[in-house]
Amino acid sequence: MKQLPEARLYIDGALRSAEGGRTYDNICPWTAEVAGQAADASATDVEAAIDAARRAFDETDWSRQHNQRHALVKEYMALLRANRDRLMDIARIEAGAAVGAACRAHVDFALNGGDDLVECFNAIEWEEDRGRREDNGVLSDRIVIHEPLGVVGAITPWNVPLYVNIGKVIAAFLAGCTVVLKPAPDTPLMGSVMGELAIEAGFPPGVFNVVTSSDPAMAGEMLVGDPRVDVISFTGSTAVGKRIMEHGAATLKRIFLELGGKSAKIILDDAPDFSVKCMMSMAIFHAGQGCALPTRLLVPRSRYQEAVEALQMSYGGFASRWGDYDDPENIMGPVISQRQLERVMGYIELGQQEGARLIAGGKTCPEKGSGYFIEPTCFVDVTNDMRIAQEEIFGPVLVVIPFDDDEDAIRIANDSNYGLGGGVISGDRERALHVARNIRAGAISVNDGMSITGDLPFGGFKGSGMGREWGREGIEEFLDLKAIAIGVS
Ligand code: NAD
């Protein structure tokens, strides 16, 4: 396994070590060994990053030069793309992505999404003429202006770090904001390399800052509590999202939350190629560490046995097709850390205690290597009130739940604190659309359509968060509105 370079801090235009040269180990999930070092930011480092972002917003014309900024961000995206191989290595070694997952969600989706955002910028209406009108005898010409919100604290998770980092920072830049990015402790280099490439692209000092830290909470809490930060854009767990809302209330900042999910994929009884559609779904993609992955599979009771047999067959056939670091077709590697492995194994034990039937997997897999490997796991005979059906496991664990009819499927899909993604498969487009329209979630795929792309808004209902990322809407989340009325005499 290659060693990774040190993930350094990027503050006020310079890449540098943390105060006192402090570092921490960057662990590779494939081997559980140290793959590199990361700068371990102190509170003084975070303070410097916030200060730089504030100054760049208040004292430069970054927020006003829309076209220059757009051109720079476009160049920056091209530079990121030119470094695709390096980004692939980081996704594989640091985030534990298998090649097939690295080149999809981790890197290519991220780069394509960033380009989509650059394109969506053209749809932003910076100034809208609302016309002349008389009110209380006063005649006014009115305009409505979009203005950037200010300094953004972007707090991101480890599961698809480039994708989430780009969704936030590119949209924030395009809106005219300045940014302090705080990557997850497990994936520091993906943030740091974005800082390094920002220098190469010629970003003005302070516009972008990256602080890596071994402490999961310290830097994030500082961003949330600091009145100089206007916006927190957070992706992560629902528990931390709630904490951020509470803590952020003290400074009344804008808070966007992209949180967890427990998305349902519904296979209706008229689905073409029914057995094929029931087979192992994307629930195992990147070892199930994706917020919108379909981790609850809802199948019709009338064809339940057929569905279970198809799943047994597909999980059986998959046993040798995951966990290989070099296989270009492989989409599943280890989970991120020992902590995550223990968490997922705890849920697998819980599922058995709750009475669900394990038809595949269920064990760790040391024969795949010294890292954090868990077998692709499938529980059937699950009822939606079980904790394994309600709670986000964030591992390669699928739960299969039978339903009686379309309305029952909708009821089960919606019987969740989450509402992030979902899917419906049917031979009848209108029938599938009826189900899709009634699921309370932010992104629904019908007949395997791609509902998550860089030009569409993405985000959650209910406990899955608030606000939208990606698309024109994702840029607008970083803009405020100002109404101006000019008196006409
Ligand atoms: P996490 O909530 O533990 O951490 C997310 C980020 O918040 C990390 O950078 C962490 O260091 C930071 N953090 C932790 N405590 C904090 C605090 N008190 N204040 C401020 N920041 C704090 O989540 P994770 O384990 O890194 O990621 C997995 C979670 O992310 C899953 O729940 C998953 O569903 C979610 N996720 C959601 C989306 C989405 O778009 N909805 C995308 C990817 C991941």
Residue 68, classified by CB atoms within 10 Å of its CB into exposed (0-12), middle (13-18) or buried (19+), is exposed
Closest CA to 267 of 295, 298, 294, 293: 298
Task: Give Rg (Cα) of the chain.
Answer: 23
Q: Which of 237, 341, 372, 452 for mutating ligand 1's site (highest number of atoms within 8 Å of CB)?
A: 237
Helices and strands (DSSP H and E) totals, the chain: 16, 20
Beta partners for residue 209, in sequence order: 180
- What average pLDDT does the structure give for the chain? 97
Q: Quick one: pLDDT at residue 116?
A: 98
Query: What does the pLDDT average to over 200-209?
Result: 98
Atom of ligand 1 at shortest distance to CA of 336?
25
CA distance 382 to 435: 21
CA distance 245 to 249: 6
SS3 180: strand
Nearest 10 degrees: Cα torsion 116, 158, 178, 121: 10
End-to-end Cα, the chain, rounded Å: 74
Query: What does the pLDDT average to over 80-96?
Result: 97
pLDDT tens-digit readout, 249-270: 999 999 999 999 999 999 999 9
| Phi, psi torsion values for 136, nearest 5 degrees | 50, 35
Percent pLDDT > 70 in the chain is 100
Query: What does the pLDDT average to over 354-365?
Result: 97
Q: How far is CA 34 from each of CA 1, 4, 43, 106, rounded to the nearest angstrom? A: 10, 9, 25, 21
Q: Quick one: pLDDT at residue 104?
A: 85
Q: Quick one: pLDDT at residue 277?
A: 87
pLDDT tens-digit readout, 135-160: 999 999 999 999 999 999 999 999 99
Centroid of ligand 1 to alpha carbon of 48 (angstroms):
23
Atom of ligand 1 at shortest distance to CA of 156?
9
pLDDT tens-digit readout, 371-390: 999 999 999 999 999 999 99
For residue 7, give the DSSP letter.
B
Q: What is the DSSP string of 433-452?
A: HHHHHHS-SSEEEETT----
CA distance 179 to 171: 10
Q: Quick one: pLDDT at residue 435?
A: 98
With bands split at pLDDT 50, 70 and 90, how would you rate the model's confidence at 401?
A: very high
pLDDT tens-digit readout, 296-339: 999 999 999 999 999 999 999 888 889 999 999 999 999 999 99
SS3 306: helix
Give yes or no for residue 282 having a pLDDT over 90: no
Q: Which of 291, 390, 456 for mutating ligand 1's site (highest number of atoms within 8 Å of CB)?
A: 291
Instruction: Give the HSE-up count for residue 42: Cα atoms under 13 Å, Cβ half-sphere.
Output: 8
Closest CA to 372 of 337, 345, 327: 337
CA distance 36 to 26: 5
Q: Which residue pairs, CB below 8 angstroms and at least 24 apart, start in 84-92? A: 84/108, 84/111, 86/193, 87/111, 87/162, 87/190, 87/193, 89/2, 89/4, 90/4, 90/162, 90/189, 90/190, 90/193, 91/161, 91/162, 91/190, 92/30, 92/325, 92/333
Catalytic residue positions? Answer: 258, 291
Strand ranges for 18-159 from DSSP E: 23-28, 33-39, 127-135, 138-148, 151-155
Q: Which two tokens stand for residue 460?
A: 């959650």
Closest CA to 15 of 54, 44, 41, 33: 41
CA distance 325 to 96: 9
Centroid of ligand 1 to alpha carbon of 366 (angstroms):
27
SS3 143: strand
Give yes or no for residue 285 having a pLDDT over 80: yes
Contact 165, 188 (CB under 8 A): no
pLDDT tens-digit readout, 457-478: 999 999 999 999 999 999 999 9
Centroid of ligand 1 to alpha carbon of 184 (angstroms):
7
Instruction: Give the HSE-up count for residue 180: Cα atoms under 13 Å, Cβ half-sphere.
Output: 34
- Ligand 1 contact via 420 beta carbon (within 6 Å): yes
**Which of 134-138, 236-240, 279-283, 370-374 has the lowest average pLDDT?**
279-283
Q: Whose CA is nearest to atom 31 of ligand 1?
A: 237
Centroid of ligand 1 to alpha carbon of 237 (angstroms):
4
Q: Cα 340 vs. chain centroid, distance in angstroms?
A: 17
CA distance 292 to 458: 10
pTM for this predicted structure: 0.97
CA distance 78 to 84: 10
Residue 9: its H or E element = strand 9-11
SS3 290: coil
With bands split at pLDDT 50, 70 and 90, how would you rate the model's confidence at 278?
A: confident
SS3 362: coil
Atom of ligand 1 at shortest distance to CA of 394?
31
